[in-house]
Structure 1
Amino acid sequence: MSNWFGRAALSTYKWAGFALFPGLVVYLAMRTAKGKEDAARRRERFGRPTQERPSGPLVWFHAASVGETTAVLPLMREIRNRGIQVILTTGTVTSAAVARDRAPDGVIHQYVPLDIKPAVSRFLDYWKPDAAIIAESEIWPVTVMELGARHIPQILVNGRLSDKSFALWKRLSSLSEELFRNFALVIAQSEEDGIRYTALGALPVLVSGNLKGDNDEPPYNPEDLEHYRQQIAGRHTWAAISTFEGEEEMAGRIHQRLKRKNNQLTVIVPRHPERADEIQKKLEAMGLDVARRSHGDAVTRSTDILLGDTIGEMGLYLNLTDIVFVGRSMHAEGGQNPLEPAMIGCAVLSGGKVQNFRDAYQRLAKNGGAKIVRDEDMLAKGVHYLMNNDEVRHKMINAGLDTVQQMRGALEATLKGLAPYINPLVVKSYLDNKE
């Protein structure tokens, strides 16, 4: 393929957005009905602001979902501490809740505009960002091209490319070259990610490590934690977190298998809490007694499952146990972030489909902080073994804590890479405030 083909493909994509606009309106309405969009703020998806733009230089952060949002929280805090305004866009109601509860003071949240020219142009015309910082792998062609046309520096931070995404971009090499040449800088998570971005036409590319390693521990309410600990009253516990369809029922079967031996409480935290009704029905059909956090249900001696169906309380759930299975790794692919449970002091178990977090899992597994299990039977045996072998469990926990400590430093490296784009805005903010 040629560059001409890439430009033609992008032009076709842009014009297709106009043609598909009525369908997108219907699509958003359907998502709203399912609770996947915020009805009161749906206009933001068309680039229409619901807050005022503050005066002074402004950096636009975009993070697709919860994981990306938490990854850039410390980076946004550093930018705000330098006197620069920050707007954060995300694409899900769960990430919006995380932004509301955990974003640094002064950060404005909006839902990301649809990747169609009218919405993106309206957003950029109003907010007039001085730079755009995009988290991990969120590449939207119209947005990238519009930022490029306006000569707004755009930087990809904590960049990662899964095997599947890299293979797709390689097949569309002319298109990827047209897109990635618009980036002023790509800061990748790992050496392998850096090599992949370079192969796709991104220049320059730096490697920082994973920003998730510099995150603070997820917060929790100490009173809620003590409340549940009293109700659990010394029972063994384990948790299956960030689960996808099929993994909740798997956790339920493992609970049944181990209950007579361990009398444990199983904590299940689905990646998408809106699935809670469906999950509860399936678990109760298995004969399990389910208590739901969102309903305020008490955990009694007969409770089998505590269903963590709330947003922004991962810190609470992780502090209830020290054995964690991280989902989207057995019945779904890609994996989820294992660093949060490791930094809180949990022994980490996972299925093998963790390509989106390969580097983190490789480091944890190499140091003994995580174990990869091949199937449900191996997971059940691993949970039982860790529950009944304190020395081995504590060794895994300490190895995980050490690994997270070793992985810190990505924030400092990222800030160093961003300096040529951020420092002029610091000077501008200072001069504006002096006037």
Structure 2
Amino acid sequence: MGAPSREDEETKKMEAGGDTVGQKLDAGALFVLQSKGSWLHCGYHLTTSIVAPPLLSLPFAFASLGWAAGLICLVIGAAVTFYSYNLISLVLEHHAQQGRRQLRFRDMATDILGPGWGRFYIGPIQFLVCFGAVVACTLLAGQSMKAIYLIANPGGTIKLYVFVAIFGVFMMILAQMPSFHSLRHVNLISLVLCLAYSFCAVAACIYLGSSKGAPEKDYSIAGANTRDRVFGVFNAIAVIATTYGNGIIPEIQATVAAPVTGKMFKGLCLCYAVVVTTFFSVAISGYWAFGNQSQGTLLSNFMVGGRAVIPEWLLLIIELFTLLQLSAVAVVYLQPTNEVLEGLLSDPKAGHRPRRAPCSGSTPPSPSCSPRSLSSRQSPREVMKDLIPDGVIYQFAPLDCPDAIENFIGYWKPSLILLMESELWPNLIVSAAEKRIAVVLLNARMSLKSFNRWSSPIGLQLVSLMLSKLSLIIPLSTFQAVRFQLLHAPPQIIHFAGDLKYAVGDIDAGEKAVAAIEDLQQQFSSRPVWMAASIHKGEDKIILRVHDELIRMYPNLLLILVPRYPRDIKNVSQTLKKQKVNFVLRSTREVVSSNTSELRMLYRVTPIAVIGGSFLPGLAGHNISEAAAVGCAVMTGPHVGHFYHMLVEMWQINPFAVKQVKGEYELLEALKQLLGDSRALEACQRAAKDAFSNMSDGVVNRVWNLVRTFTIGSQTDTWGSFSSS
């Protein structure tokens, strides 16, 4: 067997989540790379994004250009855009072969022009183009719906905005399509629809142009004077250029299975076969039938004085096909728009799967009762893979829409659903309740922002229905319980049992982890150590400034720096290089950068743990119980969000259990005190561990007893067999 080709190697590396130079891709990119599109699928996407109802405006452009100039502009537009799109495709292929596959227009701009151009110029322009296309499609669809309404009900009084709103609701449903690649079947239908309404429009033009009552044909250039005619020429060129426009070439090419070589060109050929067929036939037939009386869209020429001048059934078909294709065009241009908006509302590069991701997993269902752990994020999988016992299946959560939920529940047939913290999914909860499946919300919490959103008149109706379907709510605190009651959660299902985040002490380290801990303890035994855990971007600079001050007093001091997100390790490393600080990854020099999956091991080898996500406004803290569980002296910043209840609980047991500092200066002084006073350090370590032991004692049993009490019934036999296993 011969050696694998470069293309085969590229394919394997892409599918593994890396590129050909070893750079790991973020979870959102990995999700895109799961697409296995062919050149045919590319052709469908391209056709939908280019061949859209605005082509019905081409006769209007001809009215300002005339026959010769109109045809020349149409031919030049086809040639230039085909060449340009193919050139962009070749550039993308070239970078993919070099190991830098670019999945979005702004990625391409960032790689070629620089991050400033990508973020502040190309990205915003693409967003505006795509968002504008969606708005235009929505307005045109509203007009088509109103035209259909008037054909069926002449003299109807419903306003245009009503139809626009109806189409907007329809678009919200279509927007739930999980990825660009999942639109391939929709876009195949769209291709057929654009051919259908184009041919119908051509037939209507021929019918009307050759009838006895045909409008008088005048092929002179439209415009009362030279100024109007010049303006008309530029307007016509803009119409033609816009009709050929496409702002999502990289996004379409990203749906192709690697290697991508040559596939985009075939897709472009398919697309432009449809382009030439529709654009030229509509432009020529429309201008032939109406001359310089061509309206902004052919559909306006087919209606005169509110009455159809072609057979109503033919006009109805054209309007209907146009309406249906507009929905496909809009959802295509929603893809990059959604990606930008999601990026503003969350952190798509933080190792997360898109919330729209369908469930995925390779473990087959077990016929016996076995628990299944669900997550909408990828990062927990790396942490849990070595912790979950045999018989537990780790599964990504499905898309919260009716079809996905029905399929998911029908496939796994759960007896009980446990949701954590703020994971409220309406379709999942309501569907499970209808099937008499118990749903429990553990560690229940709700942020002020979410509470205000749910408290709106519409939101309150939905959340009250949703909460009424739950079997049990175990809130984090009394404050959280009050919020749920204000949202009309039934008081009888709200019960306290403690914070499950204290259950971290119930999981022992594995053999490999124990060996690694002992090795690190031996290496660090002769040096003072402190750790900064779950550090966010921007906080690393605070930590490094503090460490820089500390090593003046303790030259042998070691800092273990653990960024919150693995992607930040590179940024921290670059900062350290600029500051000429000695460091290695997972080693024993001045600074050690690691990742969140090693936190528990590293807490066991450091006497002091500073918990990040708390030193900058806008952050909301992280779990402090993991550090307290192993006896670290715990410190945190001022911004701790809902974790404040944990601080209060531990302070009530021992005021020295957690030290909360107001900022960089207080952090430095607190660290100086602990590093310089072994008795103070031991007192804080003992206080943290004692407080944790007190708070964690029996929390799992209390939660489980409540769950069994409120979900017992038809599942009695199931729970009996499960709890005894």
Q: Which amino acid aligns with 2:567?
A: E
Q: Secondary structure at the match of 2:406?
A: helix
Q: Which has the larger radius of gyration?
A: 2
State which of 429, 437, 454 in structure 2 corresponds to 1:144: 429
Instruction: Confirm or deny: 8 A CA contact 1:350 1:373 kept in the other structure.
Output: yes
When residues 49 and 214 of structure 1 are mapped into structure 2, their CA distance, relative to the original with a 3 A threshold, is closer
Instruction: Confirm or deny: 8 A CA contact 2:350 2:565 kept in the other structure.
Output: no
Residues 330-380 of structure 1 show CA distances to partners (whole Å, capped at 9, x for unaligned) of: 124211111110110011111111122121111223412111111111111
Larger CA deviation: 238-247 vs 115-124: 115-124
State which of 180, 184, 197 in structure 1 corresponds to 2:484: 197
Instruction: Confirm or deny: 8 A CA contact 1:44 1:111 kept in the other structure.
Output: no
Cα distance in structure 2, aligned partners of 1:130 and 1:217:
25
When residues 51 and 159 of structure 1 are mapped into structure 2, their CA distance, relative to the original with a 3 A threshold, is same
Aligned to 1:248: 540
Aligned to 1:77: none
Cα distance in structure 2, aligned partners of 1:373 and 1:149:
49
Residues 129-174 of structure 1 show CA distances to partners (whole Å, capped at 9, x for unaligned) of: 1121111111123322332333322110121223333333334323
Please tell me whether residue 227 in structure 1 is matched to residue 542 in structure 2: no
Q: Secondary structure at the match of 1:85?
A: coil
Aligned to 1:213: 502
Q: Which amino acid aligns with 2:509?
A: P
Shift of residue 34 of structure 1?
5.8
Residues 291-336 of structure 1 show CA distances to partners (whole Å, capped at 9, x for unaligned) of: 112xxxx42xxx2210013x52212211221111111111242111
Q: Secondary structure at the match of 1:313?
A: helix
Instruction: Confirm or deny: 8 A CA contact 1:48 1:123 kept in the other structure.
Output: no
Aligned to 2:658: 370
Aligned to 1:308: 594
Cα distance in structure 1, aligned partners of 2:180 and 2:463:
25
Please tell me whether residue 387 in structure 1 is matched to residue 669 in structure 2: no
Q: Which amino acid aligns with 2:707?
A: L
Q: Secondary structure at the match of 2:665?
A: helix
State which of 18, 23, 27 in structure 1 corresponds to 2:174: 18
TM-score by length of 2: 0.49
State which of 559, 565, 578 in structure 2 corresponds to 1:285: 578
Aligned to 1:347: 633
Shift of residue 107 of structure 1?
0.5
Q: Which amino acid aligns with 2:675?
A: M
Instruction: Confirm or deny: 8 A CA contact 2:176 2:356 kept in the other structure.
Output: no
Cα distance in structure 1, aligned partners of 2:675 and 2:407:
55
When residues 101 and 15 of structure 1 are mapped into structure 2, their CA distance, relative to the original with a 3 A threshold, is farther
Instruction: Confirm or deny: 8 A CA contact 1:14 1:116 kept in the other structure.
Output: no
Shift of residue 181 of structure 1?
1.4
Instruction: Confirm or deny: 8 A CA contact 1:45 1:119 kept in the other structure.
Output: no
Instruction: Confirm or deny: 8 A CA contact 1:47 1:122 kept in the other structure.
Output: no
Aligned to 2:403: 118
Aligned to 1:258: 550
Cα distance in structure 2, aligned partners of 1:139 and 1:390:
46
Cα distance in structure 2, aligned partners of 1:411 and 1:423:
21
When residues 36 and 365 of structure 1 are mapped into structure 2, their CA distance, relative to the original with a 3 A threshold, is same
Instruction: Confirm or deny: 8 A CA contact 1:268 1:308 kept in the other structure.
Output: yes
Cα distance in structure 1, aligned partners of 2:360 and 2:538:
38
Cα distance in structure 1, aligned partners of 2:689 and 2:169:
46
Shift of residue 126 of structure 1?
0.7
Cα distance in structure 1, aligned partners of 2:437 and 2:170:
19
Instruction: Confirm or deny: 8 A CA contact 2:620 2:641 kept in the other structure.
Output: yes
Cα distance in structure 2, aligned partners of 1:371 and 1:118:
49
Cα distance in structure 2, aligned partners of 1:425 and 1:238:
49
Superposition CA RMSD, Å: 3.0
Write 1 or 2 for the structure with the bigger share of strand.
1
Instruction: Confirm or deny: 8 A CA contact 1:218 1:340 kept in the other structure.
Output: no
Cα distance in structure 2, aligned partners of 1:219 and 1:44:
34
When residues 233 and 430 of structure 1 are mapped into structure 2, their CA distance, relative to the original with a 3 A threshold, is closer
Identity of aligned residues (%): 24
Aligned to 1:131: 416
Q: Which amino acid aligns with 2:666?
A: M
1:322-337 matches, cutoff 5 A: 322-331=607-616, 332-337=618-623
When residues 132 and 255 of structure 1 are mapped into structure 2, their CA distance, relative to the original with a 3 A threshold, is same
Instruction: Confirm or deny: 8 A CA contact 2:360 2:395 kept in the other structure.
Output: no
Cα distance in structure 1, aligned partners of 2:410 and 2:447:
33
Q: Which amino acid aligns with 1:210?
A: D
1:22-33 matches, cutoff 5 A: none
When residues 422 and 268 of structure 1 are mapped into structure 2, their CA distance, relative to the original with a 3 A threshold, is farther
Cα distance in structure 2, aligned partners of 1:342 and 1:103:
22
Q: Secondary structure at the match of 2:619?
A: coil
Q: Secondary structure at the match of 1:337?
A: coil
Aligned to 2:20: none
Cα distance in structure 1, aligned partners of 2:463 and 2:721:
39
When residues 37 and 346 of structure 1 are mapped into structure 2, their CA distance, relative to the original with a 3 A threshold, is closer
Q: Secondary structure at the match of 1:207?
A: coil
Instruction: Confirm or deny: 8 A CA contact 2:355 2:376 kept in the other structure.
Output: no
When residues 164 and 347 of structure 1 are mapped into structure 2, their CA distance, relative to the original with a 3 A threshold, is farther
Aligned to 2:218: none
Shift of residue 386 of structure 1?
0.8
Shift of residue 265 of structure 1?
0.7
Instruction: Confirm or deny: 8 A CA contact 1:48 1:119 kept in the other structure.
Output: no
1:411-426 matches, cutoff 5 A: 411-420=700-709, 421-422=711-712, 424-426=714-716
1:40-79 matches, cutoff 5 A: 45-47=357-359, 50-56=362-368
Question: How many residues of Structure 1 are paired with residues of Structure 2 in the alignment?
Answer: 382
Aligned to 1:67: none
When residues 218 and 107 of structure 1 are mapped into structure 2, their CA distance, relative to the original with a 3 A threshold, is same
State which of 157, 178, 181 in structure 1 corresponds to 2:468: 181
Cα distance in structure 1, aligned partners of 2:408 and 2:659:
45
Q: Secondary structure at the match of 1:239?
A: strand
When residues 181 and 247 of structure 1 are mapped into structure 2, their CA distance, relative to the original with a 3 A threshold, is same
When residues 230 and 428 of structure 1 are mapped into structure 2, their CA distance, relative to the original with a 3 A threshold, is closer
State which of 687, 690, 693 in structure 2 corresponds to 1:405: 693
Aligned to 2:39: none
Which ranges in structure 2 are unaligned for 5 or more consecutive residues? Answer: 1-167, 182-334
Aligned to 1:64: none
When residues 412 and 429 of structure 1 are mapped into structure 2, their CA distance, relative to the original with a 3 A threshold, is closer
Shift of residue 400 of structure 1?
1.2
Cα distance in structure 2, aligned partners of 1:14 and 1:374:
49
Q: Secondary structure at the match of 1:192?
A: helix
Q: Which amino acid aligns with 2:568?
A: R
Instruction: Confirm or deny: 8 A CA contact 1:144 1:182 kept in the other structure.
Output: yes
Q: Which amino acid aligns with 2:413?
A: K
Shift of residue 22 of structure 1?
5.5
Instruction: Confirm or deny: 8 A CA contact 1:156 1:187 kept in the other structure.
Output: yes
When residues 23 and 52 of structure 1 are mapped into structure 2, their CA distance, relative to the original with a 3 A threshold, is closer
Q: Which amino acid aligns with 2:715?
A: L
Write 1 or 2 for the structure with the bigger share of helix.
2
Q: Secondary structure at the match of 2:436?
A: coil
Aligned to 2:57: none
Residues 199-234 of structure 1 show CA distances to partners (whole Å, capped at 9, x for unaligned) of: 212221111111122332562623222332333342
Please tell me whether residue 239 in structure 1 is matched to residue 531 in structure 2: yes
Residues 52-96 of structure 1 show CA distances to partners (whole Å, capped at 9, x for unaligned) of: 22124xxxxxxxxxxxxxxxxxxxxxxxxxxx4111111222201
Instruction: Confirm or deny: 8 A CA contact 1:238 1:267 kept in the other structure.
Output: yes
